[in-house]
Structure 1
């Protein structure tokens, strides 16, 4: 059951749409001091601003809707059903990559006809569930997958709505581990193979070829790769139509990046203008699938300093959060801005501080920071831009807890995922009966 804790109303001049701000020296999310949440749920924890989630969707949808573009949230970025519900109430669609994500989107109140199923390794069972649920479309990523979709649809007596995911061989100019459209990528079908495959598939009654899809990567800050990829898609659509094929939909993918560490993110007006320049006016039903852009800035992870110790060139602060709670620094060399919940003890130049977690891996290292002031055991720190690929990627490595997630809305907050500790984890390991091999 959700836990709701109401606080006194925030003053009318409180900048509630802003994710974080200080009042009386205390760091707040909307009208709630983050220290109040720490007292209620312990540390570490994730907190999300409901108003920031709504404002992000409104801004992006407002930029692209005039060009006939729908927005689908990439569920993999943050799959908490209460976060999904915030978007669903605004009319946002969902992009999923597993049967579990489909179940979450449906549980959050998203209509099946607003859900797109992407992903390179859908199982037969997942495809069957998607067709039975009546999802909007399945983005197929290989000829082999297309055969399975066709077989399942034939067995169900349906015509499966299919878009072929295209690999246009465009470098997204981002981290190698989140680039998905170079020719050596596991994702999609080479653009040169699409015309023959599309034409053959369109002749099969069990397949309803509705269009194409593309996704070139994540955390894209330079918009030029989008222009190249979408221009290539426009050319492909024209070629298919010239050959007599019906192409009604184009899924433009996600990947719009979030600025950080003082750098601004991409301009939404320019992003929308590129869509209009490349694929606008073609009579296509268009959609984009952002994940990080919609939820990263809406969330923080709050951790507590456990110990400090001197180091070579930078002092260490060991915090109670670790790479199992926030994997991105270890996995992608990502950096999250960090802010103390209380004002720094010293303003100006101080000894650099290296924030590390307690896990027995050298990669459990959040990075070296300036300006945090001399930290002490017990200090609380907020890791910014942690609303995407934070809790969704968390694990229980080193038999650590799954940490709470909290939703803040105005002057109140509630727990939307409780802490899952070792006692519950051990219950999952109760043995079943022995079974004989033969």
Structure 2
């Protein structure tokens, strides 16, 4: 079934809620099927909303992406994009597995170091970084992506003060997205390459990086090919160490089955949302998995002379990749407790379910969009043969505080005290824009590990 059917005799104002069930990792399925009491106790004890983080799945994803690059014939260093989630446990997993971290602020760098990731495995990104971040980056031998000639000069000055040398990537605009606010124009890049050759006592040019919007494997491959050409030019101009190309993040994640996603996109309309909300775009929830995207990028033909991976091998280029969402795929979910149900089915055709918490803890609204995978209803009441259309609201005094604008076809009526589970929220959803609005405390994160024993899941608060 591509859509949920209305119960006989029940008005839904001509709208049938779509069914977009979220894909589940086996570990998540086990927790929901066999350990509901534990999840309920954690939510009651630690408060709603509660984020469940699963570092074991993060570690599986690291292994999977490493394998995807190897199978595509590419050599790549993984830097976990710290901005995608604030949990400390993922940093510790990265350190244990020997991968790096992409940090874009001084606190992110400090947390990465404190979590055991050595400085030489940390990349520093972000536009026009402040002097404190640049100084720490030099002191810890981090790889710094520089966005402008002025920033390059400030970094060189920081290296001079530290009697050291900074490792640098020059972030460059691509032919496909020349209007990006990130990176240097061709003229600026040309000047920066010349300056690196002049400042060899304090700057080591290691390669080039870029920023792209979107998830096109073809466009990312073309951009990476351009950066290889820039490396070759820099070598000719006195920087023989230009051997790295950072392809950024932008590896997609599949949240729902593609056939359901395609049907949703085809039939989507404002009438499917509270207050007829009209969204201009959504994350591609039914897209290809990250490993497939890696293979598509690395095997894409460039310059009419073989694949991107082959071109890189021919010129001694190593890739750097900064996945955030892709490493967090299935590595966490969010629990909300239902606080109130306003049943408007007789008048509006759907109910408004208010949860203890707010949309600040499910960050898709930050992108002027809606988080579309269906939340799961966990209820102690027996199943009922009755569709219950409802959107989900937060408990703040903001009219726009909708956790889910879309009308969900819950399989039974929702009641106060029930629990809603939003699956696969670790990547950019669960803490990107959380706020202590109304003086409410920030939600906690509980780290769960199933392990291999018979004792059941072990848990602790993140950071402990």
Q: TM-score when scaled to structure 2?
A: 0.76
Shift of 1:328: 2.3
| Structure 1, 267-276 or 245-254: larger mean CA deviation | 267-276
Matches within 5 A, 1:281-296: 281=313, 282-296=315-329
Shift of 1:270: 4.8
Judge conservation of contact 2:252–2:326 (CA < 8 Å) in 1. Answer: yes
Structure 1 residues 124, 267: CA separation in 2 closer, same or farther (over 3 Å shift)?
Answer: closer
* SS of residue paired to 2:26: coil
Q: Does structure 1 residue 201 correspond to structure 2 residue 196?
A: yes
Deviations 1:363-412 (A, max 9, x none): 31122243323211111011112112222432212211111101110122
Judge conservation of contact 1:50–1:407 (CA < 8 Å) in 2. Answer: yes
Q: Does structure 1 residue 300 correspond to structure 2 residue 333?
A: yes
Judge conservation of contact 2:252–2:290 (CA < 8 Å) in 1. Answer: no
Q: For residue 63 of structure 1, what is the aligned residue in structure 2? A: 68
Q: For residue 3 of structure 1, what is the aligned residue in structure 2? A: none
CA distance in 2, matches of 1:133, 1:67: 28
Report the aligned-residue RMSD: 2.7
Judge conservation of contact 2:387–2:409 (CA < 8 Å) in 1. Answer: yes
| Structure 1, 279-288 or 220-229: larger mean CA deviation | 220-229
Judge conservation of contact 1:221–1:258 (CA < 8 Å) in 2. Answer: no
Judge conservation of contact 2:54–2:448 (CA < 8 Å) in 1. Answer: yes
- Residue among 446, 449, 457 paired with 1:406: 446
- Residue among 390, 413, 416 paired with 1:353: 390
Structure 1 residues 329, 131: CA separation in 2 closer, same or farther (over 3 Å shift)?
Answer: same
Q: Does structure 1 residue 235 correspond to structure 2 residue 274?
A: no
Shift of 1:307: 0.7
* SS of residue paired to 1:333: coil
Structure 1 residues 190, 360: CA separation in 2 closer, same or farther (over 3 Å shift)?
Answer: farther
CA distance in 1, matches of 2:174, 2:98: 30
* SS of residue paired to 1:371: strand
Q: TM-score when scaled to structure 1?
A: 0.81
Structure 1 residues 322, 95: CA separation in 2 closer, same or farther (over 3 Å shift)?
Answer: same
CA distance in 2, matches of 1:227, 1:343: 50
Q: For residue 396 of structure 1, what is the aligned residue in structure 2? A: 436
Q: For residue 210 of structure 2, what is the aligned residue in structure 1? A: 214
CA distance in 1, matches of 2:45, 2:171: 46
CA distance in 2, matches of 1:234, 1:42: 50
* SS of residue paired to 1:303: strand
Q: For residue 12 of structure 2, what is the aligned residue in structure 1? A: none
* SS of residue paired to 1:67: coil
| Structure 1, 263-272 or 70-79: larger mean CA deviation | 263-272
Shift of 1:264: 4.6
Shift of 1:184: 3.2
Return 5+ residue gaps in structure 1 as ranges: 1-15, 171-181, 420-438
CA distance in 2, matches of 1:47, 1:250: 35
Q: Does structure 1 residue 223 correspond to structure 2 residue 214?
A: no
Structure 1 residues 195, 330: CA separation in 2 closer, same or farther (over 3 Å shift)?
Answer: closer
Judge conservation of contact 1:348–1:371 (CA < 8 Å) in 2. Answer: no
Q: For residue 310 of structure 1, what is the aligned residue in structure 2? A: 343
Structure 1 residues 139, 343: CA separation in 2 closer, same or farther (over 3 Å shift)?
Answer: farther
Shift of 1:252: 1.3
Matches within 5 A, 1:11-26: 18-21=26-29, 26=32
Q: Does structure 1 residue 275 correspond to structure 2 residue 311?
A: no
Q: For residue 166 of structure 2, what is the aligned residue in structure 1? A: 160
Structure 1 residues 58, 349: CA separation in 2 closer, same or farther (over 3 Å shift)?
Answer: farther
* SS of residue paired to 2:171: strand
Deviations 1:159-195 (A, max 9, x none): 211111112153xxxxxxxxxxx33332111245323
Deviations 1:309-351 (A, max 9, x none): 1343431000112123222234341414211234896577724
Structure 1 residues 369, 158: CA separation in 2 closer, same or farther (over 3 Å shift)?
Answer: same
